[in-house]
With several copies, the nearest count.
Chain A
Amino acid sequence: MAPSPDESSVDTTDAVDPATEESGFRVSLSNFDGPFDLLLTLISKHEMDITEVSLSAVTNEFIAYLKELDDDEELDQASEFLVVAATLLDMKVAGLLPQGELVDAEAVALLEARDLLFARLLQYRAFKEVSTWFARCLHREGRRHVRAVRLDEKHRKKTPELVWSLSADDFAALALLAFAPKEMPHVGLDHLHAPLVSIREQAAIVVTLLRSAESVSFRELVAGVQEPGIVVARFISVLELYRHAALSFEQLEPLGELTLRWAAESWSDETLASLGADYDR
């Protein structure tokens, strides 16, 4: 049945399919020896200090473990491990920070961040566990047979006559509409309603502005620009130009004014043409 929440955080074998769990990845560290999942459970219950766990040791063991798996399983397990390892790493960073007296706000914020990371890990595990319920139900129901029989001729004849009003040209127009790629957008600029902005075009503007002046602040660079998409694109183009060592920037204090200077020793329009190619779909 459903992974009962209380039990699942205490006894992992109760919540997840024991077969998959027990054959799963085990770790053997100086202070812990047992299934990986149990390690996570202990950490998430704060019964084991995350800072005591050597992530590199866990990783080494995991890689050894992966070598013995077949391909499909390996892929699933590896991707899962990456998710968990990334979270563990985050937790570790938070865990290593001093947490004696909670005097300054920054430390408190970091601790809260750590709780949030614990929460994220818990949440991830909850969904992972419940996904076994989905798999079980889908499998069981996939074996069932439902009545789905074509309508008998006698009844089919009684369906109302189809009203058809499309010409062949209308139909072709409709086909074009249907074939237009459904935007299965990539996360990012697709969420903005603004028209797509070309980083290359923005870079051209940035180059022109920078070469015509001794130094330009980023604020000046985007002065008068209303669309967030263009500001973003202009900023990305600054980063790209920096990558090409075409400019240098200076920021005297955090969140302070960003001053840009043209620094390219050799610059050609070809460089501009290939700029931001990483962002092309």
Chain B
Amino acid sequence: MTDDVTTTDGVTTTDGAPLAERIEAILLIIDEPIGLVALAAAVGSPVAAVRQTIETLVDDYDGRGHGPRRGFELREVGGGWRLYVRDDHDDLVADFIGGQAPARLSQAALETLAVIAYKQPVTRSQVASIRAVNVDSVVRTLLARGLITELFADAETGAINYGTTDTLLQHLGINSLDELPPISPLLDDGADGFDEGTIR
């Protein structure tokens, strides 16, 4: 096929690092399916070699290689490749997520949501400094619930700014953020300790 590719499992790149490993490293961290060309650019190998290695990995994960079948599979969706839980285990995953995601938001999640609602756009570290606790996992929950969304990344720091979604407005029974009851008088008092006075 291409000159710098050996065979099957043992496909290696020019620099000697196994191409399959490099591809797996990228596949492990991507959120969205990745196209062959982008993947080839990421691992620094020709598209043809990447395609061949992907095919090997698909077979491998499906148990047609030397190892056992995996609980995940490599699928091409919408022109890109991504790791998915094998369909056989969908029920297992659904049960697990059901157990992980309680139907009600915790007090911590609600308070964080309130801070984001009144102070948006706001970064995670700004919320953390107002709440005086780390809010990473709570922000993940709120994102997963579709109550907040990533608005934009700060041009300088790259920190992501968050805001609330229409889903939240629907839950609150209001049409726009302007209808949120004002809380300014008390906020003014409390604002001293915080960075800048952008609170409404």
Contact = CB atoms under 8 A, between A and B. Distances in A.
B90 A142 contact: no
A180 to B, nearest CB: 6
Interface in A92-123: 115-116, 118-120, 122-123
Interface in A146-170: 146-152, 154-156, 158-164, 166-169
Contacts of B38: none
A167 B193 contact: no
Interface string A185-206: 0110011110000000000000
A190 B153 CA distance: 12
A83 B133 CA distance: 8
Contact of A187 (B125, B140, B144): B125
Interface residues of B, number: 70
A83 B107 CA distance: 14
A253 to B, nearest CB: 30
Contacts of B170: 141
A137 B84 contact: no
A67 interface: no
Contact of A135 (B29, B87, B105, B140): B105
A151 B29 CA distance: 6
Contacts, number: 252
B17 interface: no
Contact of B192 (A116, A171, A174): A116
Contacts of A147: 27-29, 72, 82-85
Contacts of B134: 187
Given A134-B114, A179-B130, A187-B128, A168 B157 contact: no
Contacts of B87: 143-144
Interface of B: 25, 27-31, 72, 82-85, 87, 90, 93-94, 97-98, 101-108, 110-115, 117-118, 124-125, 128, 130-134, 136, 139-140, 143-145, 157-159, 170-174, 179-187, 189-193, 199
Name the 4 nearest CB pairs between A and B, nearest first: A2-B181, A123-B190, A175-B114, A172-B181
Given A76-B108, A167-B172, 20 more contacts: A5-B183, A6-B185, A9-B186, A79-B108, A126-B187, A134-B110, A134-B114, A139-B104, A140-B173, A141-B172, A145-B90, A145-B93, A152-B85, A162-B104, A162-B105, A163-B104, A166-B110, A169-B181, A176-B187, A192-B157
